[in-house]
Amino acid sequence: MTIYQKTIENSFTIKGYGIHTNQQVTITIHPAPANHGIVFKRIDQNNCLIPATIEFLKEYNRATLLSRNNIIIKTPEHLLSACAGLGLDNLLIDINNDEVPIFDGSSLTFINAFIKSGIKSLNEQKQPIIIKSKTILKSNDASIICLPSKYPTFSYFLSYPKSFIGVQFFGMKLSQENYINQIAPARTYGFYNEYLSLLEKGLAKGGSVDNAVVIKDDGYMNKLRFEDELVRHKLLDLIGDCWILNRPIIGHVIGIQSGHALASQFTKKLAYQYAHLFNLNT
């Protein structure tokens, strides 16, 4: 299987608000050459460069977090997920705040902007991670399992036994078409009672029914895009968290009640298992 690296044809700028800070953020995404990777540039912090790699990945439960010299990038997972769905692996991202905009809570805004800008293949191959054996990572009731497979495949199991939500499961072969149609529209979600608690902690200041599925005890506060939108969004997050590796995973990644912190551990574990692809010392 020959896979070529990709970037975008043209730079573009989009603006939005951070879900936790509710501050306006402007990001400008530029094409980048082969082997550049996905790199954030904090233009409000002396142009500090923060590559989206495991070296700068920090464990944080409510979002993905990148940090370099105490300068951070929060919530890049929806952007990275869109990159994974389209196979984009070389971008320079100017950002003027510490939080990537939430937009409507899905990755559709990024997908549409990338497609409009144009996507091009580069004259450099990308070596995928080919899973040879089973890997399991557990933390309390959550786990991530990775199995050999002929194709890049992602699945997620979600369970809220004390809620009307119950059990949801979704899995698919990761392709551009499947991602755009089945995953990209799925929005982040939160429970109304937890939202009030987060506000008291100074978080989720930008959260609303405009950018999240809000759940009350007796039902959803807004109309769903999919009957199983919650589990599809968890899969969106998992795909984004795995794109920190900046390589396709030829294997089956299964998330079971997992979140961003466990996904961070998983990607680091996988990187060291396949250290020859990342120039890491084991």
In a domain, 74, yes or no: yes
Q: Following CA atoms 42, 269, 248, 134 in sequence, which dihedral angle do they give, to the nearest 10 degrees? A: -160
| Whether the predicted pLDDT of 63 surpasses 90 | no
At 118, which CATH number?
3.30.230.20
In a domain, 110, yes or no: yes
Percent of the chain with pLDDT over 70: 98
Q: Is 260 a catalytic residue?
A: yes
Q: What confidence tens digit (pLDDT) does each residue in 237-277 have? A: 999 999 999 999 999 999 999 999 999 999 999 999 999 88
In a domain, 8, yes or no: yes
What's this model's pTM, rounded to 2 decimal places? Answer: 0.95
In a domain, 209, yes or no: no
In a domain, 183, yes or no: no
Q: What confidence tens digit (pLDDT) does each residue in 205-245 have? A: 788 889 999 999 999 999 999 999 999 999 999 999 999 99
Residue 163 has what DSSP assignment? S
Distance CA 75, CA 20 (A): 9
In a domain, 239, yes or no: no
Name the domain count of the chain: 1
| Whether the predicted pLDDT of 199 surpasses 80 | no
Segments forming the whole domain that contains residue 102: 4-127
Residue 282's pLDDT band (boundaries 50, 70, 90)? Answer: very low
Among residues 36, 78, 260, 276, which one is catalytic?
Answer: 260
In a domain, 41, yes or no: yes
The angle formed by the CA atoms of residues 122, 89 and 54, to the nearest 5 degrees, is 145
pLDDT of residue 7: 99
